[in-house]
Amino acid sequence: SAAARARAPPRSGIQDVCALWDAASGVRLRNKCQRGIPIGQFCKDFNEKTKELKEGIPVPIKIHVKPDRTYDLKIGQPTVSYFLKQAAGLAKGATKTGHETAGMVSVRAVYEIAQVKATDECFKMRNASLETVVKSIVGSARSLGIQVVNDLSADEYKLFMEQREEKLKAEAAAEAAAAEAPPGKKK
């Protein structure tokens, strides 16, 4: 019954990846926080803990709800995919992973990302070496369609991105033409 649900203790944990502007309005977390957490206080705490970060950055959050309806809020580092897309100058990864290269990042950029992510709780709990963190980030780059290269000059990358943009436009035009073409007769 509704009365029993209202008296039920809240769930003990909530995990999500939330863009910073989400918490300010409570957009994604409002439904998850209806277990007795005061949303106004939550937003105030969230904004206080993330005031150094730029708005819109996706950050993993963990909320541990206690039986007295108080909570512990942990904010993690921005996601690996966010860092990789920023380093590659991309809005999103490849649409056909494994078949196209959406962008490139240097080994140096991967190493810098690894140094930041090595402080994350998930890597600390496993006592992961920096090499393990780098391998994890290289795997994430591969799944986003981002190629890791030894050296990357700005001119080289600009040329690559221009060629990729032309290729994407040509593919979109071909798909539009195929959609407008009358269907062929089957034999």
Domain region containing 160:
80-168
34 plus 97 within the same structural domain: no
Ranges of beta strands (E only) in the chain are 13-19, 58-65, 71-75, 103-106, 146-149
- By the 10 Å C-beta count (0-12 exposed, 13-18 middle, 19+ buried), 57 is classed as middle
pLDDT band at 19 (very low <50, low <70, confident <90, very high): low
Q: Identify the domain boundary among 58, 75, 92.
A: 75
Per cent of the chain over pLDDT 70 is 78
* Residue 51 predicted with pLDDT over 70: yes
Report yes or no on 122 lying in a domain: yes
36 plus 85 within the same structural domain: no
156 plus 111 within the same structural domain: yes
Report yes or no on 132 lying in a domain: yes
* Rounded Cα gap, residues 86 and 52, in angstroms: 18
Question: In the prediction, which pLDDT does 174 show?
Answer: 86
Question: In the prediction, which pLDDT does 7 show?
Answer: 47
* Rounded Cα gap, residues 70 and 93, in angstroms: 38
Report yes or no on 174 lying in a domain: no
Q: Provide the 3-class DSSP secondary structure of residue 76.
A: coil
Report yes or no on 183 lying in a domain: no
103 plus 159 within the same structural domain: yes
